[in-house]
Amino acid sequence: MASYPSGAAQPSLSSRPQHVGQALEQLRGAQKSGAGAPPYSRWVNRRFGRLLAAVAAVIGLRPNQVTLVSAACTFTALALVALVSPQWWLGLLVCALLLLGYALDSADGQLARLLGGGSRAGEWLDHVIDATKISVLHSVVLVSFYRFTDASDLQLLVALASQAVSVVLFFGLILIDQLRRSANPGAVTSTAATKSRRFQMLQTAIAIPSDYATLCLCFALLGWQTSFRAVYSTLFFLNTLFLLLALARWWRQVRAMDQPARA
């Protein structure tokens, strides 16, 4: 999730990168570790986001403005799913808009780091938009199934359950991160640096179904409903399994955090 200085002063013309190449060079030194991240997010989305952040820096956009453009792309795509009958071109358009919105969601944080820091206001805005996006995404699939297709009651329930799984997973990730920070103030919450490369690659592979980009790519099949429903249902099953495993792991971690206090 992005964190950036919503109240930061606009950089002066002299300090702002004058061309995209210069901005890209500066951004290379402002990257977070991608160890353990899903493949698309790690090797495609961050690089695409870096390019968009460089363009935004050159033309003078602020991180919050990039966040709002990202939201506009995402919610336009979701509105199309709910309002337009599924067709091959609609699926491709929705997929493209969702992936563009995802890249811009990466760009705002990278732009913020380029400008020198983050703020609570910026983090709040980013998280609120992400929470809204996750809550609405499966809702519009449910609406599309109900309005335009002959989807069974079971398929409608899959869309409804997918929303619950996504919301709980999102909230769980945010909460466990906050608990780790409160339990170890000032400590780096990620342990990726201490894990072997093989374990990091295993994490990357396991995270594929839960990657937001995987769901975005799934929408390319929207015009071919049989294929879309099959992939969508498979992702629901895998994400449910992933959530159950994550909840068990997070519970053990939280219990471990309580041990020093009890001692």
Residue 161: per-residue pLDDT: 97
Q: Cα angle vertex 220, ends 215, 221, to 5°? A: 95
Q: Position 210: which residue type? A: S
Other CB atoms within a 10 A radius of the CB of residue 194 amount to 8
Domain-located, residue 244: yes
Domain-located, residue 76: yes
Residue 38: per-residue pLDDT: 79
**DSSP class of residue 9?**
P
- What token pair was written down for 148? 């335009």
- What token pair was written down for 117? 């820091």
Domain-located, residue 26: yes
Domain-located, residue 9: no
CATH code for the domain of 182: 1.20.120.1760
- Report the number of distinct structural domains present in the chain: 1
Residue 9: per-residue pLDDT: 43
Give CA–CA dist 1/93, Å, rounded.
25
Distance of CA 48 to the CA centre of its chain: 14
Domain-located, residue 7: no
User: Do 122 and 6 meet the contact criterion of CB atoms below 8 Å apart?
Assistant: yes
- State phi, psi for 119 to the nearest 5 degrees: -145, 160
- State phi, psi for 4 to the nearest 5 degrees: -155, 165
Domain-located, residue 72: yes
Domain-located, residue 262: no
- Calculate helix-pair angle for 46-59, 88-115, nearest 10 degrees: 60
Residue 94: per-residue pLDDT: 98
Give CA–CA dist 258/44, Å, rounded.
38
Q: Which ranges constitute the DSSP H helices of the chain? A: 20-27, 39, 46-59, 63-83, 88-115, 120-148, 153-183, 197-206, 212-218, 225-262
Model confidence, pTM: 0.85
Domain-located, residue 123: yes
Domain that holds residue 65: 20-256
Per-residue pLDDT of the chain (263 residues; tens, 9 = 90+): 444 443 444 444 445 666 788 778 777 766 665 555 677 888 899 999 999 999 998 998 999 999 999 999 999 999 999 999 999 999 999 999 999 999 999 999 899 888 876 678 888 999 999 999 999 999 999 999 999 999 999 999 999 999 999 999 999 999 998 898 888 776 554 444 455 666 666 777 778 888 999 999 999 999 999 999 999 999 999 999 999 999 999 999 999 998 865 65
Q: How many CA atoms lie within 13 A of 113 on its CB side?
A: 19
